[in-house]
Amino acid sequence: MQKIFDKILSIKDKYKSNIVFDTRNLKENDIFVGIKTQKNDGSLFYKDAVRKKAGLILINNPKVNHQNIFQINNIDNFILNFCKYLLSQYKGKIIAITGSVGKTTIKENIYNILEKNNFLVSKSYKNFNNKLGLQFSIMNMKLNSDFSIFELGINAPREMKSLINILHPHYCLVTGIENSHIGNFKNFNNLINNKIQIFHSKNLIKGLINFSHSKPDLTKKIKSNIQLVNFDNIKVSVTKKNKYSLSFKDNFKKHNIESDLNGIYIETAIISYLFLKRFIKKFHSEKFFYSKSIIDSRGNVIHKYYNSKIIKIYDHSYNSSPYSLKKQLFFFNQKKISKKLCIIGSMKELGNNSSNYHIEILDIISFYNLGKSIFIGDEFFKLKNMYKNYKFYKSYIDYIKVMNRDLNNFENIFVMGSRSNQLEKIIEKI
């Protein structure tokens, strides 16, 4: 097995190759690993990898004979062992991030700011945060980096333990834990206990956990090197320039900032700031909130031309939860703009309280009086008879058929929903 490890590293070093699981993403000299999922057996796509001139092909298919193909009896074990080998060779520090809200945004913030402070940094790919996603990111990490940042997501008990047993990070950050993300955990206590297993890393130096929206007693559950923070003292207002005036306290020092940061991005920026300031030496914090490296709503605003006018789309179509949706709706409501349209997709992984959370969102939108609102997905569709003033659709496909009539009347469109709703398809059609 060591010979294959060395072969992989040699190819990666020579050609700057990536390791890929999908031949559609494969480029010349990349390394293809044929994993087996519920939908596909990657080994069956070896011909595509050969045609695209892969530098190395690792599959479980003894019938195939080719000079660039290695037969691996157990692909899953091979991937796990290769990840452990890479981590054993890594001399930098590993940062792991989990939580119910803001994982990807905070990961990108920390990555960008560390890079701006002249550190060499690796990060996990997009929002790949389950076991396979973590392994994919480890296999493609830069072994010479000062820091490697990984996003960890769990949907069931014992998953965090499995992830930590692979990664063993040095710094851990919990962005926040929501009651609304119970899903398979049955109750909030189980969810908390599983999330904070991130701090069970054998290499842990320091950790930080945010409990601004929920405050269970964790004093007996966490170690002395874990810091608890909350942001209940954050005050936000909208200026006449449609910017946000932000004030908060950190170690009794008051910060007053005017920023373009929007909604939940304010909180994620503060979490990123506190983490870097407290744990990372040589971090220059003075101009943190003015840095273009901070992820904010500007990256999620899309301008589209429709019938000779510009439509501004506030795109949050990639993820949703009751907490994040309520926060984004609050800020959208505060914007001094007119001709607003809300397109809201159902939220997932809410357990037995799913209907109550969706009703709460409907009531909030009614209270804000945001104009026309569209609701998409099964969870909202079940409530259509309770809210006669709104339009409900089972899927984005149903709404696309009729959406042109809305586009003629609105110029500011808010879009948010869980990834499974595929609301990005609506944006693509505008």
| 275 in Cβ contact with 206 (< 8 Å) | no
Q: What is the pTM of this model?
A: 0.82
Is the Cβ–Cβ distance between 313 and 430 less than 8 Å? yes
| Conformational region of residue 239, where left means phi above 0, alpha means psi within -120 to 50, and beta covers everything else | beta
Other CB atoms closer than 10 Å to residue 169's CB: what's the count? 25
What is the pLDDT at residue 297? 46
Q: Which residues of the chain have pLDDT under 50?
A: 297-299
Q: Are 332 and 415 in contact (CB under 8 A)?
A: no
Domains and CATH numbers, the chain: 2-73 (3.40.1390.10), 90-290 (3.40.1190.10), 297-429 (3.90.190.20)
| Distance between CA atoms of residues 367 and 387, nearest Å | 13
Tokens 């996003």, residue located: 151
* DSSP-based three-state secondary structure for 181: helix
Phi and psi (nearest 5°) for 6?
-65, -40
Give the closest residue to 227 by CA, choosing from 204, 203, 253, 248. Answer: 204
Cα 113 to Cα 95, 229, 292: the distances in Å are: 14, 21, 9
Amino acid identity, residue 75? Answer: I
Question: Following CA atoms 324, 327, 330, 332 in sequence, which dihedral angle do they give, to the nearest 10 degrees?
Answer: -60
Residues 212-220: contacts with CB within 8 Å, 24+ apart? 212/176, 212/267, 213/176, 213/178, 213/323, 214/176, 214/177, 214/178, 214/179, 214/188, 216/188, 216/189, 216/192, 218/192
Residue with tokens 């396979």: 132
pLDDT at residue 423, rounded to an integer: 95
User: Rounded to whole angstroms, how far apart are CA atoms 181 and 173?
Assistant: 18
- Helix pair 159-167, 188-195: axis angle to 10 deg: 10
Q: Are 395 and 407 in contact (CB under 8 A)?
A: no
Helices and strands (H, E) in the chain, number of each type: 14, 19
